[in-house]
Structure 1
Amino acid sequence: MYPRLYVARELLREDGVIFISIDDNEVSQLKLLCDEVFGEENFISQMSIVNNIAGRSDSKDIAIAHEYALVYQKTDIYTSLGITLNEKQLLEYRFEDIHGKYRKQGLRKRGSNSRREDRPNMYYPIYFNENTKEISLDKKLKNDIEILPRLSNGDDGCWRWGKDTLLNKIEFLEVGFVKKREEYDLNEKVYLNQNGNTKRTKLKSYLFDSKYTSDTATKILGEILPNKIFTSPKSLHMIKDFLINSTKDNDTILDFFAGSGTTAHAVMALNAEDGGNRKFITVQIPEKTDNKSEAYKAGYKTIFDITKVRIEKASEQLQDKSGFKIFETTPMFEGYLDDLEELNAKTTLFKGSELSTDELETLLTTWKVHDGMKLHEPLVAMDLGGYVAYGSSNTLYFMDKGFNVEALKAFVAKLDDDETFEPSKLVLFGYNFDSKHQREFKEALNNYTNKKSIELDMVVRY
């Protein structure tokens, strides 16, 4: 775990956050590792998620009903955004005025430190006129009614706001009559939509709802894949709540343990709901499924096979048109000389000139990452007098056979005439360039001064 946690920390943005799902058996050790990697000061919460309301029958003494999620921030500039209100919470917003739906929240302080002596500066009179409905800090008319913060037992309490805050927010106050005490009290109008944003609530450290259970997660997975293909998938709703709480529309989400593909599914589902453009990267080793399992019998030979199909099916179900790419790490071609700087008579060559189109594309993808490009960043095919090269903003790759004088002339012409074409590095696949063409290319670059005065570096790779 330590190497992955370290890599995770390096990959996180400064305002990033990580959620790590774990069970009873490993949570203590994981907490120690995370404290070391992320720092104790960046610990946010050890969440408990009830994923089996009835409790697991295989537990010896106590029926385990929950799992954990450790939450760490990269730095203290991380900001929690809160989660969407549930149906019960939305019902509280049953009042409405010209500003929209709202709920009432008492202005009097509740709970601890709610007595007058606890916060004496928060004990002061507020005045209300029954005829004009005006609320103020000053008694303006003789019949203005004085309202003071009273505890439920009649003792003096205190307000939640000081006088300055009250003056700034006085338009959001309304008066209510408390029949039990035969006196007026004040409520704040808390609007469902403020400044164009819908009200949210804090993500709690304890998640208890049937939507978070393994049964619900299995049911959701069963809607797109055969039942019992994957045991104990993660809750789609749990991951969505993590995303809602911690990501903005264009953020990238990385999952080191893709499993059944819940994270990718959650990202696509949330984008479909709120129009976001979040992107996901999910990592899954090709772990083999048990040859006696339902997954194996259904043709899923590895966990990755399940991950891939779920992402495809969920994408179809959600009508997600953004698509996704699959990259696989594989051993390099037998005999590939990845650290070769120059050839000599004793060098044993692999058959690079016999690579298929797909194999050349694999090699090209490897090289572009080596040269600092992103995996998903596309290379642009460029026609050079019938020869096709592949370029990024500053690197041009010559992978195929058939490079000739006409291609060289076309390259030089494009370099001079195309204002947007400014490569600084040329990479040749040595097996498809004989020594004559390599020499001609090198001499042309040395002897020709392009109009843009760009210094070109030519590299031959084998």
Structure 2
Amino acid sequence: MERNELQSLQELKEEEKIKILDRASNGILEKENADFLIKLIDNAENKTEVLKISALGMTYKRTGFHFDVRLEKNGGQTIRYLKKNENLSFDQGGITHKLIIGDNYPALLNLLINYKNKIKVIYIDPPYGKDHLGVFAQTNYNNAITRDNLLSMLYPRLILARQLLKDDGVIFCSIDDRNQAYVKCLFDEVFGEGNFLYMLSVVNNLNGNDNSSGMIETQEHCLFYAKNKDYFEVGVLPLDDEDSSDWQIDDLGYWKLGGSLKATGINAPREARPNLFFPIWINKQTLEISLEEQNNNWHKLIPLTDGKEMSWYWSKDKFIKDKDEVIVKKVGESYSLYKKQRPQLGDLPSKRAKTTFYSPKYANANSNKELKEIFKEKKFDYPKASFFIKDLISIANTNHNDIILDFFAGSGTTGHAVLELNKQDGGNRQFILVTNNEITDLNPNGIALDVTSKRLKRIMSGECYDESKDFKWLEKNTPYGDSLEVSEIQSIASSDHSVFEKIDEKLYGKDFENIHDKIEWICKEFELTCRKIEGE
């Protein structure tokens, strides 16, 4: 047992012990209680036990707010692993995206085997409504102080999510008015209050929802946290069509009229910055500029404001070096100089995002229409708009090869958004989606089978699994391409030796040449298999 201890298990133990010691040092936990929890963690046999024990010492040290922890149901002495669904998977070349069907808790544990510190963006839209959390986690809306079940369900999943994130990774969480304060406290505890970036107000219905409360509700919220704020820089948004009319293109890409090059403010007068006062010569016909004295058809321009000599923002060397970045405008009998404003996303015009996150494309009506064009009928309640997720990925400042995870994937909007963004900028981002197969009135075979997998199949290949192509989305869109690997969470008794045959290491990026290496790997990476029979 000791010899075959999981390295990742030991790392998790050390991380959780540090948190407990930190709580004790801050007077949140009694020393005796902290020592007892650490002793329990040292003797824990798997990651689930570690998280349960750590949760017992959970408090909100910054707010005084706390919840009564309800532990994850014990799955027994079983191993939960990924099994490929050959019928739902398809290979078209390109990037291989992933869809995992099943409970997201064992799915996250399985992802840790191959994706620890590799995920750039996580987006989740947890089921925070009282009727959507299942038997174990039904939020009690009559309890005005705590959301024990919701928070207990999220806590271990966020711990695992943080381990999956890269150092410069970020996580977004959509949440409603009623729960946002509680869930933010949970995020503060797991990710650290110092890594909070923004609380976005997402306007998804400008006309509002009339819930007879006295006011019209127009938005929900989206939490935005970094794994480590010091390593992250907020990205920008590409311009919508209606925002792009002011942009022009030259040999260097997009540009539009920027700020004046004549200085303003307390340091603008000539005497404050004498080195930045000098004449600039402007050709009256071509509007070309020169720093050398010219004659005849040239105008001598000096920086003046109300007849007072001022200065330029740029030095002489800067004007010479970047003269193609100068815009000359004639104003009456004189001239004014402006700089070209360049976009921040390569050759794509862009804008800074606002914390009030609004676009007509985010509207609930638009997201419902988008899904209906793929399925011809309503298949899912309250889907998110792919435009909204795409914009979140943009402000997450992803590069072209990053991985995006959604472990409450629902209808698969996050996957749709990643595919659209790759098409837009030529990226190779990979999505990983996790969803259960909850059976609903709209989806008698379950959400994963009736909605998520079928949506991805249709928009990626242009046809459904039955090879039908009669859906409206194809009229205005070209299939995105790429491949999809679909796997399901399976369980097996830890004492069943057939586990070494049933676990497919290729689903975890491995390909062993002999069974001994595979057995050693499974015993190392999967909980409970560490208990090898003595002598084997």
TM-score bracket for this pair, using the shorter chain length = 0.5 to 0.7
1:259 aligns with 2:407: no
**1:47-102 deviations in whole A, cap 9, x for unaligned?**
122101101011502211011111112222223342222213321124x5554553
**1:148-188 deviations in whole A, cap 9, x for unaligned?**
264xx999987655666555433311221234xx6422111
Change (3 A) 1:461 1:208: farther
Query: More displaced, 274-283 or 9-18?
Result: 274-283
TM-superposed deviation, 1:137: 6.4
Determine the C-alpha separation between the residues in 2 that align with 1:206 and 1:255: 23
1:128 aligned to 280, 292, 297, which one?
Answer: 280
* Aligned amino acid, residue 377 of structure 1: G
Contact 2:390-2:421 within 8 A present in 1 as well: yes
What SS does the aligned partner of 1:315 have? helix
**1:25-65 deviations in whole A, cap 9, x for unaligned?**
11112222222222222222211221011010115022110
Contact 1:122-1:161 within 8 A present in 2 as well: no
RMSD of equivalent CA atoms:
3.7
Change (3 A) 1:130 1:276: closer
Determine the C-alpha separation between the residues in 2 that align with 1:154 and 1:17: 52
Contact 1:173-1:186 within 8 A present in 2 as well: yes
What SS does the aligned partner of 1:91 have? coil
1:61-460 to structure 2, matched below 5 A, reads 61-75=214-228, 76-94=230-248, 97-99=250-252, 101-108=254-261, 114-116=264-266, 120-121=272-273, 124-131=276-283, 133=287, 135=289, 145-148=300-303, 150=305, 161=314, 165-166=318-319, 168-179=321-332, 183-191=334-342, 197-245=347-395, 246-289=397-440, 293=441, 295-296=442-443, 299-302=444-447, 305-317=450-462, 318-332=478-492, 337=495, 363-365=502-504, 368=505, 375-377=507-509, 379=511, 392=512, 396-397=514-515, 425=517, 427=519
* Aligned amino acid, residue 451 of structure 2: I
Change (3 A) 1:74 1:166: farther
Q: So what's the TM-score if we normalise by structure 2? A: 0.57
**1:178-203 deviations in whole A, cap 9, x for unaligned?**
34xx6422111235699x63343223
Determine the C-alpha separation between the residues in 2 that align with 1:23 and 1:375: 36
TM-superposed deviation, 1:232: 1.1
Contact 2:254-2:348 within 8 A present in 1 as well: no
TM-superposed deviation, 1:140: 7.1
Determine the C-alpha separation between the residues in 2 that align with 1:78 and 1:19: 14
TM-superposed deviation, 1:251: 1.0
1:21 aligned to 131, 150, 174, which one?
Answer: 174
What SS does the aligned partner of 1:102 have? strand
Structure 1 gaps, min length 5 = 341-351, 353-358, 369-373, 380-391, 398-423, 429-457
Contact 1:177-1:185 within 8 A present in 2 as well: yes
* Aligned amino acid, residue 242 of structure 1: L
Q: Which residue of 1 aligns with 2:188?
A: 35
What SS does the aligned partner of 2:371 have? helix
Query: More displaced, 156-165 or 221-230?
Result: 156-165
- CA radius of gyration, larger in: 1
Determine the C-alpha separation between the residues in 2 that align with 1:199 and 1:461: 65
What SS does the aligned partner of 2:420 have? helix
Determine the C-alpha separation between the residues in 1 that align with 2:171 and 2:363: 21
1:55 aligned to 181, 205, 208, which one?
Answer: 208
Query: Structure 1 stretches (4+) deviating beyond 6 angstroms?
Result: 137-143, 153-158, 458-462
* Aligned amino acid, residue 311 of structure 1: L
Determine the C-alpha separation between the residues in 2 that align with 1:54 and 1:158: 50
Change (3 A) 1:61 1:124: farther
Determine the C-alpha separation between the residues in 1 that align with 2:518 and 2:246: 64
TM-superposed deviation, 1:10: 0.9
Determine the C-alpha separation between the residues in 2 that align with 1:10 and 1:59: 42
What SS does the aligned partner of 1:283 have? strand
Change (3 A) 1:101 1:426: closer
Determine the C-alpha separation between the residues in 2 that align with 1:154 and 1:304: 74
**1:197-218 deviations in whole A, cap 9, x for unaligned?**
3343223222222101111001
* Aligned amino acid, residue 52 of structure 1: N
Structure 2 gaps, min length 5 = 1-153, 463-477, 521-531
Q: So what's the TM-score if we normalise by structure 1? A: 0.65
What SS does the aligned partner of 1:31 have? helix
* Aligned amino acid, residue 236 of structure 2: G
Determine the C-alpha separation between the residues in 1 that align with 2:262 and 2:196: 30
Corresponding pairs, count: 350
Contact 2:281-2:293 within 8 A present in 1 as well: no
Contact 1:31-1:70 within 8 A present in 2 as well: yes
Q: Which residue of 1 aligns with 2:84?
A: none
* Aligned amino acid, residue 362 of structure 2: Y
Determine the C-alpha separation between the residues in 2 that align with 1:425 and 1:59: 63
